[in-house]
Amino acid sequence: MTTTREKSQRRGVVMTIAAVLVFMLIVVAGFIHRIGQPRLMSDGELQANGLYLMDPPRDFGDFALTDHRGEPFTPASFEGQWTLVFFGFTHCPDVCPTTMAFLDQFVGQLEGTEAKDTEVVMISVDPARDTVEKLATYVPYFNEDFTGVTGEFLDLFRFATALNTPFRKVPGQGEDYQVDHSANVVLINPRGHYHGFFKAPLDLAKMKVTYRAARYIWDH
C-alpha cells in the first residue's frame, strides 16, 4: 500500500514539475513577446537590414496626381498615416507584380495600429498606358486597399525624382516598350514627408523589423 509519506512525495514532485513547466512557459512567452516588439536600432543596423532613413525627413514639394478611384492625389493624401510607395507600371513583366504581391504579404503580417495606419501606393511610371481605368483593374487585384496613382508624365517624373526614384522609357521597342525604374520602396511618414526607403531586394523579415523600428524611433 502507498504510504502517506509516498503520496506526499509524489505530490511534491508533481508540483515541482508543474512549477518548472509554468516558469518555462512564462520565459518562452516573454521571449516571443520581446521579439514581436519594436526596438531602437542604429542607422548602421537599419541600413544593414535594408532601410535608409532621411535625416531629417524631406518635404518633397507640391504635386497634383489622380488615384485609380478618379480622386485627386495630393500631398495631403499622405498625411495621417505611414505610406509605402512603389513606382511601377501595369505592363511590367516581373518586378512590379512580384513587389506588389510582396507588399500585400507584408501588410497582411502587420498588427494593431501598424496595420490600421499603413497604406500602400503604386505610382505609375508609364502614364501613357496606365490610365485610371487600367490601374483600377490592376492595383486592387493585389489588395483592394492599395491605391494606384497616375497623372501627366512631367508631374510623375518630378515627383519620382524628388523621391530619388527616377525612371526612363527603354528606347527602340515600339509600342510594347518597357520602363526602367527602381525597385526600392519609399517610406512616407504621417506628416507627408520623405522618411526613407527600403532598398531592393526586399526581405520580409528584415522589412518588418526595420519598419517597426522606424515607427518606434519616430514616436520616441
Contact 211, 117 (CB under 8 A): no
Helix (H, G, I), strand (E, B) or coil at 25: helix
Contact 123, 85 (CB under 8 A): yes
d(CA 156, CA 128) in angstroms, rounded, equals: 11
- In DSSP terms, which residues pair with 66 in a beta bridge? 72, 150
Q: Is 68 annotated as a binding residue?
A: no
Write the Ramachandran bin of 164: left for phi over 0, alpha for psi from -120 to 50, otherwise beta.
left
Distances (CA, A) of 78 to 82, 181, 204: 7, 22, 23
d(CA 85, CA 124) in angstroms, rounded, equals: 11
Q: Is 195 annotated as a binding residue?
A: no
In terms of DSSP bridges, do strands 65-67 and 168-169 run parallel, antiparallel, or are they unpaired?
Answer: unpaired
The binding site consists of 92, 96, 181
The binding site for Cu cation consists of 92, 96, 181
